[in-house]
Structure 1
Amino acid sequence: MTSLEAVSSYLPPTISVAELRDPLGLDDQQVRRFTRLYGLDRICQAPDQTEADMLLTAAGKLDELAGQEDRVRYVIRAKGLRTTAPYPVSPLQQVREALGLRNATVFSVADHGCATGLLAVDTAGTLLEADGDPDALALVLAGDKTFTPFSQWVADVSIMGEGMTAVLVGANGPRDRVLGYHARIVGREDGIIDLDPEGAREAKRIYQDVMSDVIHCALDDAGLTMADIHLVLPHNVNRVSWTVAAKELGIAPGRIFLENIAKTGHCFCADPFVNYQSARELGLLRPGAAYLMTSAGLGQSFAAMVLEH
């Protein structure tokens, strides 16, 4: 059964939403909406660091990786964006070489937007199971650089941060075992993910219903109900969407971990793992408790994963 062997994060220094007013071309109303209504305050940014630098910093915090490099069979880059570095730069190959992962096959997964991190964990588990070696590991690297204007914010939705995470995945670990996973894309036939006015209206219309259905499908896969879930570790899109989701799911808002929204911004597909690490440090996950990771991304991609700590 797929398991999370270890999770580490790198959260670079932050800048306030107010300081991003001019760089992003925000007006006063938008600044107020992001801060007072959506709960955003500080946004992770690392303008002087490359994507490879940031990924290496996150992976370097994985104490469980030290001395186990030869066990890593796969390095999987979870990309919320299709392009995260200018050609021919390959941050993923740079990370593989710097970490000394000689036996690892490297590749990226994308096109699930900010839900790609959970897809990468599921992919890692599938490959490790097929590999048949109980000692084999996979390293999932999640998070993106906001190196284009398009990637820096989603109008009237969220502002993107540059936090990165490294997740060591095993085939049959003793804790943080994956009990259920479900993903869905409700995209356009032409594959365009830009939120034009019509697309934004459609995204808003379906968002809560599809997210709720995907979560319940993952719960069904795990043989559990929402009442069995101790904590929800979401993507940090904004506070309002999760206040509404709590009502839709029939749970108390306090069961959804929202503390990082104000501290990091929306760090693409790294969010659930950033929240996992914070929840562990705060003692919010008890042994044997079931918890839920969720995420959604541009292109109307949705994913949910149920795990047992």
Structure 2
Amino acid sequence: MTSLEAVSTYLPPTVPVTDLRESLGLSDQQVRRFTRLYGLNGICQAPGESETDLLLAAAGKLAILAGQEHRVRYLIRAKGLRTTAPYPVSPLLQVREKLGLRHAQPLAVADHGCATGLLAIDVAGTLLAADGDPEALALVVAGDKTFTRFSQWVEDVSIMGEGVVAVLVGSGARDRVLGYEALIIGREDGVIDLDADGAREAKRIYQDAIAEVIAKALDAAGTTVDGLRLVLPHNVNRVSWTVAAKNLGIPRERVFLDNIERTGHCFCADPFINYRSACDLGLLKPGDRYLMTSAGLGQSFAAMVLEH
């Protein structure tokens, strides 16, 4: 069974949203909306660090990896953005070399937007199951560098942070995946950018779609909303999850939103950033079931139920 053997994060320093007013071209009204309504008071940014630097900083905190590099069969890059570095730079290959993962096959998964992190865990579990070696591991690295203005924010929805994670995936008993579901409601032309029509459609379907994919993941795991100790969502904004919790019948206090005000929306790394924080705070006990969930541009949705 797919399991999360270890999760580490790297969160760069937080920059107040008010300091981003000029670079993002935000109006006073937009600043107020992001801070007072959405709860996005600060965004973690690392202007002096490359994507490779960020990913290595997260992976370097995986103490369990030291001396076990030979067991890592796959190095998987979960990309919230299709392009994360200028050609011909490959942060993934640089990470592989720096970590000494000579036995690891590098690959990337994308096109699920900010739901790609959960997809990468499922891909890792599928590859490890087919590999047949119970000692084999996969290392998933997630989170993106906002190196273009396009990648720095989603207009009137969220502001993107540069927090990253490293997740060591195995087939043991730690944080076992009980159910995973993905849902894509794409356009026929394949466009994922939020133009005016796309934004209206995304807003119209969002709550129903996130509820649908969560219900399917719960069903696959053989549990219900009442069986969840905690929900670890993507940090898009406070309002969307306040509404979703009410629609799903989940008590507000079970949805972990503490990081929104200090990280911003860190692409597909968010659920794992929230996992690390929840564990550090002692919010998950052995046997607790919890839900990770995300949504991405292109109307992609994902949910994963795990047991701590």
- TM above 0.5, yes or no, is yes
Match of 1:142 in 2: 142
Match of 1:166 in 2: 166
Note the alpha carbon deviations across 1:207-239, whole angstroms, 9 max, x for none: 000000000000000010111011000000000
| 1:184 partnered with 2:171 | no
Match of 1:33 in 2: 33
User: Residue 304 of structure 1 aligns to a residue in which SS?
Assistant: strand
Match of 2:303 in 1: 304
Letter in 2 for 1:214: V
Match of 1:155 in 2: 155
Segments of structure 1 that go 5 or more residues without pairing to the other structure are none
Match of 1:102 in 2: 102
User: Residue 175 of structure 1 aligns to a residue in which SS?
Assistant: coil
Distance 2:231 2:123 in 1: 22
Q: Name the TM-score, length of structure 2 as normaliser.
A: 1.00
Match of 2:252 in 1: 253
User: Residue 84 of structure 1 aligns to a residue in which SS?
Assistant: coil
Match of 1:52 in 2: 52
C-alpha deviation, 1:251, in angstroms: 1.2
Match of 2:9 in 1: 9
Letter in 2 for 1:164: V
Note the alpha carbon deviations across 1:40-74, whole angstroms, 9 max, x for none: 01101111101001100100000010000000000
CA RMSD of aligned residues (A): 0.4
| 1:64 partnered with 2:64 | yes
Letter in 2 for 1:258: L
Match of 2:85 in 1: 85
User: Residue 94 of structure 1 aligns to a residue in which SS?
Assistant: helix
Match of 1:243 in 2: 242
C-alpha deviation, 1:174, in angstroms: 1.6
Identity %: 77
Distance 1:229 1:100 in 2: 38
Match of 2:22 in 1: 22
User: Residue 305 of structure 1 aligns to a residue in which SS?
Assistant: strand
Note the alpha carbon deviations across 1:265-303, whole angstroms, 9 max, x for none: 000000000000000000000100100000000000000
Q: Name the TM-score, length of structure 1 as normaliser.
A: 0.99
C-alpha deviation, 1:175, in angstroms: 1.8
Distance 2:162 2:244 in 1: 25
Match of 1:262 in 2: 261
User: Residue 294 of structure 2 aligns to a residue in which SS?
Assistant: strand
Note the alpha carbon deviations across 1:126-183, whole angstroms, 9 max, x for none: 0000000000000000000000111000011000000000000002x12200000000
| 1:287 partnered with 2:295 | no
Distance 2:188 2:151 in 1: 22
Match of 1:277 in 2: 276
Distance 2:64 2:190 in 1: 39
Segments of structure 2 that go 5 or more residues without pairing to the other structure are none
Note the alpha carbon deviations across 1:82-115, whole angstroms, 9 max, x for none: 0000000000000000000011000100000000
User: Residue 82 of structure 1 aligns to a residue in which SS?
Assistant: coil
Off by >3 Å, runs of 4+ in structure 1: none
Distance 2:216 2:196 in 1: 30
Distance 1:174 1:128 in 2: 15
User: Residue 168 of structure 1 aligns to a residue in which SS?
Assistant: strand
C-alpha deviation, 1:190, in angstroms: 1.0
Distance 2:62 2:131 in 1: 23
For 1:109-128, list aligned pairs within 5 A.
109-128=109-128
Distance 1:93 1:232 in 2: 33
Letter in 2 for 1:116: T
Distance 1:154 1:102 in 2: 38
What is the aligned length?
A: 308
Distance 1:130 1:210 in 2: 31
User: Residue 292 of structure 1 aligns to a residue in which SS?
Assistant: strand
Distance 1:236 1:109 in 2: 21
